[in-house]
Amino acid sequence: MKKFKDLSKKQKMFFIPLMAVMLIGSVMATGFLVNSFFINVDVYEPFGISYVILGDAGNYNGESCLNATGWETMPDGAILDMDGIYPGESRNFCVKIDNAGEADIPYTLAGSVVSGLGNYEDCLLAFPDIEKTGTASQGETIDGEVITVSTNAPPVDDCQIEISVSRG
**Spatial CA neighbour of 93 closest among 61, 64, 54:** 54
β-partners of residue 98 are 48, 140
Which residues in 6-158 belong to E strands, given as ranges?
47-54, 90-99, 105-116, 130-136, 139-148
What the chain holds in terms of domains, given with CATH numbers, is 47-167 (2.60.40)
β-partners of residue 133 are 108
Specify the amino acid at residue 70. Answer: G
**Spatial CA neighbour of 112 closest among 90, 89, 132, 129:** 129
First CA to last CA distance, the chain: 70
pLDDT value, residue 7: 54
134 close to 107: Cβ distance less than 8 angstroms: yes
Q: What is the mean pLDDT of the chain?
A: 87
DSSP label of 70? -
Q: Using 50, 70 and 90 to split pLDDT, how confident is the model at 19? A: confident
For the segment 100-155, what is each residue's pLDDT rounded down to a tens digit?
Answer: 999 999 999 999 999 876 688 999 999 889 999 999 999 999 999 998 899 999 99
